[in-house]
């Protein structure tokens, strides 16, 4: 149930993958601007991934199926300007998953020409694994409810949920002495 709560909050665009990127040694959490900007950059990819993953469970005349192109266009406009934030978020998430905080940041050394396409391929695959078909109707409902928001507000909502989840995981780590 806890996972479903996190998932539904962040799933406005399927950002649960980003929100759940906390499994091992803590690293500095990126600031709200980086998180929101990263979410904003990946939103068009996330809409497509959610629609693809949920295709077998959604009604052909349902909200996501009939609005995928409009949502993708809405979220694509202005997304590219947020690549620097997306890059910073990716690096923070990768560092946060490392077993040892002393390991070098190989991801940060990669040029944008390598990193960008790599994550535009890897994110949909990882997110597709995280989305359970039983949650597709709820995801669709959240997406439809939030669609009237401008893309920036939508990203701010999802980014805030991710920030809260990240902070909660950091508190739990501190409590457990990790």
All structural domains of the chain with their residue ranges: 2-15+32-172
When comparing pLDDT for 152 and 13, which is higher?
Answer: 152
CA–CA distance, 14 with 23 (Å, rounded to integer): 19
Q: What is the pLDDT of residue 7?
A: 37
DSSP state of 134: G
Q: Using an 8 Å Cβ cutoff, are 76 and 44 in contact?
A: yes
pLDDT of residue 117 exceeding 70, the answer is yes
Q: What are the backbone dihedrals phi and psi of residue 77, each rounded to the nearest 5 degrees, phi first?
A: -65, 115
Tokens read off for 6: 């996190």
pTM, entire model = 0.75
Relative orientation angle of helices 151-175 and 32-53, to the nearest 10 degrees: 110
Distance of CA 48 to the CA centre of its chain: 13
Q: How many residues does the chain have?
A: 178
pLDDT of residue 139 exceeding 90, the answer is yes
């Amino acid at each position: 149930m806890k996972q479903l709560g996190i998932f539904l909050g962040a799933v406005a665009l399927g950002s649960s993958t980003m929100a759940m990127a906390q499994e091992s040694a803590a690293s500095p959490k990126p600031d709200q601007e980086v998180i929101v900007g990263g979410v904003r950059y990946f939103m068009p990819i996330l809409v497509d991934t959610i629609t693809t993953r949920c295709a077998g469970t959604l009604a052909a005349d349902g909200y996501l199926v009939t609005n995928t192109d409009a949502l993708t266009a809405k979220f694509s406009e202005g997304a590219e300007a947020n690549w620097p934030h997306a890059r910073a978020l990716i690096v923070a998430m990768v560092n946060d998953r490392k077993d040892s905080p002393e390991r070098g940041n190989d991801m940060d050394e990669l040029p944008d020409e390598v990193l960008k396409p790599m994550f535009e391929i890897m994110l949909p695959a990882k997110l597709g694994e995280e989305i359970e078909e039983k949650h597709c109707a709820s995801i669709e409902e959240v997406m439809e409810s939030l669609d009237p928001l401008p893309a920036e507000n939508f990203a701010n909502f999802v980014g805030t949920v991710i920030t809260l989840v990240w902070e909660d995981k950091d508190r739990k780590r501190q409590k457990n002495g990790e």
